[in-house]
Structure 1
Amino acid sequence: MSRRPARTGSSALYPCVITHVRRSPSRYTLRHRTYLWLVDLDRLPVLPRPLRPLAGFRARDHFTGRAPTIRAALDGFLDEHGIDLAGGPVLMLGHARFCGYVFNPLTVYWCYGPDGALRCVVAEVHNTYGERHAYLLHTDAAGAATVDKDFYVSPFHPVDGHYDMRLPPPGEHLRLSIRLQRPGAAPFTAAVHGTRREATVPALLRLALRHPFPTLRVSLAIRAHGIRLFLRGLPVQPRPGRTPESAS
């Protein structure tokens, strides 16, 4: 697979299926249909004014939330890890703000040098408590990397184990997967599969009608499935700094 950016500067939409599979203590599967944006951080799409509520990209939704742009925030994060892209392009995959609301369980950044070679991948994870954490990945030719888990995401998983991530750059098809491996437990797997569409106004309108309020629906789906798991008796793992009672 090529490690060079595909069609940099051209935004794309990926109607997709997001799947979560939990195998213990009982098998449970979550499937959710939505759509994601793939954008060049240096050429963020600007919609006609009447349609701007359908897609917004704001720096306050990523990393520290204090940088003037998403690109500046990413460059600041990379600088902390000794990486300088020297102005090379960055492709970002994630949800856009929809009618003023956004929730991005996972935002992925493919970071390239000026020569077009992939330098690194950043996986930015958001939890439902309003917290964020970014993982720096040096992926292999298949887009795979392993990283220790050090951020609280689900109330049903403690902060231990490691992630096996497979995040190849999207082309005509989007195929991402994350597998959480924990000591003595069956793996938890999340996957995203989608097909590329050019980010035209008609394509966006079709997807917005088919999947209305996509970011709110993702947030509500995660909470609804969490309630179902809790009612099934799955034990809640306290968030670091919280007691089990306050976590519940």
Structure 2
Amino acid sequence: MSRSGGRWGAALYDCRITHVRTAPLRRAFHHSTYLWLVDLDRLPRLPALLRPLAGFEARDHLGDPRGTLRGNLDGYLAANGVDLNGGQVLMLTQARCLGHVFNPLTLYWCHDDRGTPVCTVAEVCNTYGERHCYLLRTDDEGRADVGKEFYVSPFFGVEGRYRMAVPLPGEQLKLSMHLDHPNGRLFTATVRGSREPAGPAALLRAALRHPLPTLAVSAHIRLQGIRLYLRGLPVQPRPRHPRQQGVSAP
């Protein structure tokens, strides 16, 4: 992380997340939360009283829950022919808070030992406890195009392609993900946020603005699903998928 990473060598982003569904019916909603940007080799070391508000654990992400975040990511990259040679990896995620965590999307920006960007990994989780990783070869503006391979919403199958814009955040966080189908664009999600160096005061402010942040995200997604179901949107069959995809090549 840069010097602006704050006392813990990390940053917090106060975010607004927007979802827009355009077909087969239109529905839009948004919610607010905060996200962490951390260096996998220098995870924040919080004082004991604040540790319940932020934990970064291997069991909450890709790979072996008994391993480490860095080791598991390196294992996934190696299985896909990528060697960072010890280069920096920055992770954008929600931390485990008060014993709960749910991350629809975690991003890893991967650099080699000279600081050159190599790839970005998008780790996607659904509400069924499954996860899937997309290895993205982004352009200079952080854009990538990849086929959809993972069942996320019960109202979408696995057809289509994602068009993502996931530039490494600076003072501002600006992410977008579009789901395109031969019949047109079905869904768009955006994340917008402002950076603040992470430290005790910043974390307490964020926790007061967004109490139980990961539980709120999980509940919000389920509530929106119920509303769509009650509007008559048909549920798509869920294909079989390993609960943990991340330590071997897809």
Question: Could you say which residue in structure 2 is the equivalent of 1:246?
Answer: none
Show the 5 A alignment for 1:236-247.
236-241=235-240
Q: 1:226, CA displacement in angstroms?
A: 0.3
Show the 5 A alignment for 1:27-38.
27-38=26-37
Which is worse superposed, 178-187 or 200-209?
178-187
Q: 1:186, CA displacement in angstroms?
A: 3.0
Output the CA distance in 2 between the equivalents of 1:239 and 1:88: 37
Question: Could you say which residue in structure 2 is the equivalent of 1:21?
Answer: 20
* Structure 2 letter corresponding to 1:183: P
Q: Is the 8 A contact 1:8 1:91 kept in 2?
A: no
Q: Is the 8 A contact 1:109 1:123 kept in 2?
A: yes
Show the 5 A alignment for 1:8-87.
10-87=9-86
Q: Aligned Cα RMSD in Å?
A: 1.4
Q: Is the 8 A contact 1:67 1:73 kept in 2?
A: no
Output the CA distance in 1 between the equivalents of 2:20 and 2:2: 30
Q: TM-score normalised to the size of structure 2?
A: 0.92
Question: Could you say which residue in structure 2 is the equivalent of 1:140?
Answer: 139
Q: Is the 8 A contact 1:8 1:89 kept in 2?
A: no
Output the CA distance in 2 between the equivalents of 1:141 and 1:199: 27
Show the 5 A alignment for 1:203-218.
203-218=202-217
1:125 aligned counterpart, secondary structure: strand
Query: Where do 4+ consecutive residues of structure 1 move more than 2 Å?
Result: 5-10, 64-67
Q: 1:151, CA displacement in angstroms?
A: 0.5
Question: Could you say which residue in structure 1 is the equivalent of 2:159?
Answer: 160
The percent identity for this pair of structures is 61
Output the CA distance in 2 between the equivalents of 1:108 and 1:28: 26
Which is worse superposed, 78-87 or 182-191?
182-191
2:223 aligned counterpart, secondary structure: helix
2:207 aligned counterpart, secondary structure: helix
Output the CA distance in 2 between the equivalents of 1:133 and 1:241: 12
For structure 2, the 5+ residue unaligned runs are 242-250
* Structure 2 letter corresponding to 1:55: A
| Matched residues, number | 238
Q: 1:183, CA displacement in angstroms?
A: 1.8
Output the CA distance in 1 between the equivalents of 2:82 and 2:3: 24
Question: Could you say which residue in structure 1 is the equivalent of 2:197?
Answer: 198
Output the CA distance in 1 between the equivalents of 2:179 and 2:16: 19
Deviations 1:91-142 (A, max 9, x none): 0001000001100000000000111110000000000000000000010001
